[in-house]
Structures are given as C-alpha cells and as structure tokens.
C-alpha cells in the first residue's frame, strides 16, 4: 500500500488563521491516522507580502497546537532552480511558451473582451510565435483549448471543467519567480505528496494544476476540498465574528486541545461525539466523514469546550499555563503549590485562563478592597460580635483544612443564634472583597490561617468604624 504523505503550505503574509489551522489539522490527522508523513512548506513566492514575522507567527501557532511535522519547513524561495528545471521540461515538450505581451496591452484586451461579452482570459497572442526567453517575457502554460478536465474529489465527488474556459496561465513571471499554481504542483511532485487536502476556495485552481501534472507525465495526488468556515450569520468567517488568528485565542486563554477539538468538528463528525482526545482523533479520523456544507464556528461552542478541558486538567498542569496571565496583572509571585490549590477551586467555573486569572485576584494580592455595595450590605455593625467569635475560634485551630473549618462556623451560628447563611456572605466579602467566589471553606484552606485571620480583622475594624 502506498505511504500517505500530506502537506500544509501556508503563505507567510499574515498570522495563521482558523481556516488555515483546520487545514493543517486535517492533513496532520489524515497522515497520522494512516502512519504517513506530514510535510510543512512555506509558500513565500509572494516576495512583496511575505515576512519573517509571519513565518515565525505560523511556526509558533503550529507548535502551540502541537501539530508536529515530519519534513520541512521547506521554503519556495529556496527552490527557484527546481521550478526553472521543470519549466524547461514544459518548454521542451511544447507545453509552455514565452510571452512578450505587455501588462498594459493585456489590460486593454481584457477590457475589450468584457465589453464584447467575452471571457476576459488571455487571447493566446504569443501562443505560436515560438519566442525564446528574454527580458520582460513570462512563461505561459499551453492549456488544451478543447475537452474537459475531471477532478475526482474525495470530499465533493466528481467535478468537470471545460478546458476552453481555462487560461494559458503564467507559470514563470518576468523576474523568474514561479507562480502559485506552478510552484505548488512541482513541490507536490518532488515531495511525493499523495493527498492534497485544502479549502474549497482552491477548487478552481485544481483543473489547471491537474493539466500541469499531466503535461509532466506525473502521477496525480488525491484531491479533497473542504467546505469553508462560516460565522453564525452564515457568512464567511472574518474578524467581525471575533478573533480569527490562532495566537489571538492563546491570548484569550484558550487551551490548544480545546481549539483543536473545536476545529476538527468544523466539517468532520463521528456519530454524536463532541469531545475527542488526540489519540481518539488519530484513531477515528477519515475524509469520508467530512461534510460538504459550510461549517459554523461559534465562540459559545469553543468556550464550552475550553471550560471542559480546563475542568479536566490537573491543577498542577494549569499552573505554568496560567502564570503568564498572572504576570500580566502584576500579581505577586506565589509558589506552584499555592497556585494549584487556588486553581482547583476555580476550575469548575472558568471558561478561559483569562477568566481564571481575573478570578484569582483575591488569592494573589496582599490587601483586598471591599466592593462598596457588598461592604455596605454585609459588613454591618451587628456582625462585629460574630466576627470576633470567629477570629478567636479560628486562631485556636491547629488544622486549617475544610473538615476543621466547618464545625467552627456551625458552632458559632448555633451559639450566637444566627443562621449559617447569614454568616457566610459577610465572611466571603471579608475574604474576597465581593459576594461571588468558590466555596467558603475551600478558599479559606487555600488562603491559609494567617491571611484569613488578617482579612477578618480588617473587616472587623471596618464594622466597628
């Protein structure tokens, strides 16, 4: 059986976006599920728009998503001689010709064709001139002028194209740089790519590429074109639907496994299952289960998945991931063990690491500020006696765990004839500054005896004033 080799070929003209990340993931999964190879290729022949910053951003995103590649990254700008070698083969076999038409003349002829209701494609003026290579000349592929080209798409099924509708496309520009449709074919041939899996915005490029394969006598790869990703308004995904760059989601506190799980469900399904481990994806992924309709991306679904993965992680594994967000907020440094304890109390409620970092504030700062409304409502003079009693009882405890803390509160409530709920909320305000937090005894255990008593004493002074 032929080994499977897939590729992901981003253009370094910007960051890696959601659509590109899904393409990378599907190619990675298809290769991994069949014990094949996954190749990373940087398509940087757009010299004016390609940047080193974009290359780094793409590689950083791939590494963050842990989509490891077996070969590459290859750079097209390092392969210009390879393209020239294959271009010469096409010239020698009569499948390509040199063209001297000036851009301004081509534009005039294009406008004239449109005005006459004709397709504005190249009119073949230089097709039979027999020109040789020269200054300001481009190399064009000699497209068949009759017949059809059939694309047997793994996802979409068979698609036919009329050759007469296709152009004699430029394959080498006048500066010697290969164009996209030519370079991609030569790369895929020389790298042994067996499956080309990409977005269906490339469908119209495919017949041109198939014709170049045939002109070179090369074996065709299998093509599969995935439907586009749409936002909730059913229009193509864009910035107005929220962040689209992969690393923006990292900054939002999304875990890579949550984003991958969200991406894989954009167009692929396995029964009614929603959540997959990496190993399960490799085991179950197939192109047969990729849908034909556009997929809908929603932040709500991503955040639901992210909350799941945050909840399922060991608190110790989240400490390192959370630290950069804590540093951003200028919180004092705390030991890993303290952070893990605090994280454990926040995991059930956090949708992102940003949310968690914000919720960590009362754990991290030395001096908390009371929310004015909460303090006015709960830190009242009639609670001073309750707080004095609690401070005394808690100070006497040698064990400050949840199991020891609860009896202190129950006994205090019974002895002072106060309902436990009437005590809990003022203590919560005293310890956190607000009225919402994880369980009271949980946070007291994390904060520790010294900090808890200091905060209760501060609240008591507030009541007495």
Kindly list the catalytic residues.
Answer: 239
Instruction: Beginning with the edge strand found earlier in the chain, give each strand of the sheet holding 138-141 in spatial order.
Output: 96-99, 138-141, 170-172
Sign of CA dihedral 250, 256, 258, 260: positive
Lookup: tokens for 161: 């194209």
Host H or E run for residue 6: strand 5-8
Q: 408-414 long-range contacts, Cβ below 8 Å, gap at least 24?
A: 409/440, 412/386
Q: Which residues pair with 42 in a beta bridge?
A: 75
What are the DSSP E strand ranges found in 21-166? 37-42, 71-75, 96-99, 138-141, 148-153, 157-162
Backbone angles phi, psi at 358, to 5 degrees: -65, -40
**Spacing of C-alpha 314 from chain mean position:** 23
Angstrom distances, CA of residue 390 to CA of 146, 362, 376: 91, 20, 20
Task: Name the one residue in this structure whose structure tokens are 């990409």.
Answer: 198
CA separation for the pair 70, 438 (Å, rounded): 45
Find out whether 339 and 368 touch, Cβ atoms under 8 Å: no
Contact call for residues 229 and 294 (beta carbons, < 8 A): yes
Count CB atoms within 10 A of the CB of residue 105: 11
């Amino acid at each position: 059986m032929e080994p499977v080799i897939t590729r992901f070929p981003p253009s370094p003209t910007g960051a890696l976006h959601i659509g590109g990340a899904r393409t990378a993931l599907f190619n990675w999964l298809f290769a991994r599920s069949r014990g094949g190879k996954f190749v990373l290729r940087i398509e940087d022949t757009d010299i004016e728009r390609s940047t080193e910053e974009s290359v780094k951003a793409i590689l950083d995103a791939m590494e963050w998503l842990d989509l490891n590649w077996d070969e590459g990254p290859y750079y097209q700008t390092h392969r210009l001689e390879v393209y020239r070698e294959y271009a010469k083969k096409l010239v020698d076999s009569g499948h390509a010709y040199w063209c001297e038409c000036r851009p301004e003349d081509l534009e005039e002829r294009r406008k004239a064709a449109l005005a006459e209701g004709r397709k504005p494609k190249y009119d073949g003026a230089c097709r039979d001139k027999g020109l040789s290579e020269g200054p300001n000349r481009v190399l064009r592929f000699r497209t068949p002028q009759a017949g059809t080209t059939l694309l047997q798409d793994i996802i979409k099924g068979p698609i036919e194209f009329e050759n007469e509708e296709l152009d004699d496309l430029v394959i080498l520009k006048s500066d010697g740089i290969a164009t996209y449709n030519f370079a991609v074919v030569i790369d895929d041939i020389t790298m042994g790519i067996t499956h080309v899996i990409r977005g269906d915005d490339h469908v119209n490029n495919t017949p041109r590429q198939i014709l170049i394969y045939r002109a070179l006598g090369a074996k065709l790869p299998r093509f599969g074109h995935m439907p586009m990703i749409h936002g909730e308004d059913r229009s193509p995904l864009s910035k107005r639907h929220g962040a689209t760059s992969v690393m923006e989601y990292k900054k939002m506190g999304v875990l890579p496994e949550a984003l991958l799980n969200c991406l894989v469900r954009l167009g692929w399904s396995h029964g009614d299952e929603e959540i997959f481990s990496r190993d399960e994806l490799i085991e179950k992924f197939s192109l047969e289960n990729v849908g034909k309709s556009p997929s809908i991306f929603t932040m709500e679904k991503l955040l639901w998945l992210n909350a799941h993965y945050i909840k399922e992680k060991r608190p110790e594994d989240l400490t390192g991931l959370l630290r950069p967000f804590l540093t951003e907020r200028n919180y004092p440094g705390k030991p890993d063990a303290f952070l893990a304890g605090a994280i454990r109390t926040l995991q059930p409620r956090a949708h992102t690491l940003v949310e968690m970092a914000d919720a960590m504030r009362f754990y991290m700062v030395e001096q908390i500020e009371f929310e004015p409304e909460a303090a006015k409502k709960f830190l009242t003079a009639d609670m001073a006696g309750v707080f004095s009693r609690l401070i005394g009882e808690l100070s006497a405890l040698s064990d400050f765990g949840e199991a020891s803390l609860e009896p202190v509160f129950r006994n205090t409530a019974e002895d002072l004839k106060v309902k436990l709920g009437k005590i809990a909320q003022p203590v919560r305000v005293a310890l956190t500054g607000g009225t919402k937090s994880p369980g009271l005894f949980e946070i007291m255990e994390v904060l520790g005896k010294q900090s808890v008593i200091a905060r209760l004493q501060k609240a008591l002074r507030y009541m007495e004033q």
